[in-house]
Structure 1
Amino acid sequence: MIRVNNRDDVEWREGMTVSDILEQFRYTYPHLVVKVDGTVVQEAAYDTYAIPDGADVRVIHLIAGG
């Protein structure tokens, strides 16, 4: 089981990646920061970064700055 944004529990499966989580939750914002167990995952690694069982995943939408 993994936890997403400290509120949703998701059944873990072998080979699960950051991209899988983004698709499952339909995160479509163009600017996201994803952290897995406190480590920032670069966008280029979303398709290959394996999420371990028991992970804490945080997805943060960047919508404005300044």
Structure 2
Amino acid sequence: MITLNGRGTDWSESLTVAGLLERMGYGLMHITVTVDGVFVPEEDYGSFSIPDRAEVHAIHLHHGG
């Protein structure tokens, strides 16, 4: 099990940041992600494997005027 923004969710051995965001209904654009306090660059979302028991934070960036 991992934690995403304070909520528990199932973990699998092949889970990547992109896979988690897709599963949880997040878009991949304008999302900032940290895994166990480490920033994950957007270009690594498809290859960055999330370890079991990780604490993941996903923040959707908004802009406006």
Q: TM-score, normalised on structure 1?
A: 0.89
Cα distance in structure 2, aligned partners of 1:28 and 1:20: 11
- Structure 1 residue ranges (4+ consecutive) displaced by more than 6 angstroms after TM superposition: none
Where does the alignment leave 5 or more consecutive residues of structure 1 unmatched?
none
Change (3 A) 1:51 1:29: closer
SS in 2 for 1:44: helix
Number of residues paired by the alignment? 65
Q: How does 1:27-66 map to 2 (within 5 A)?
A: 27-28=26-27, 30-64=29-63
* One-letter amino acid of the counterpart of residue 33, structure 1: T
1:5 counterpart residue number: 5
Q: Does the CA contact (< 8 Å) of 1:29 and 1:61 recur in 2? A: no
1:10: how far off? Answer: 1.1
2:25 counterpart residue number: 26
Cα distance in structure 2, aligned partners of 1:40 and 1:29: 15
Q: TM-score, normalised on structure 2?
A: 0.90
Where does the alignment leave 5 or more consecutive residues of structure 2 unmatched?
none
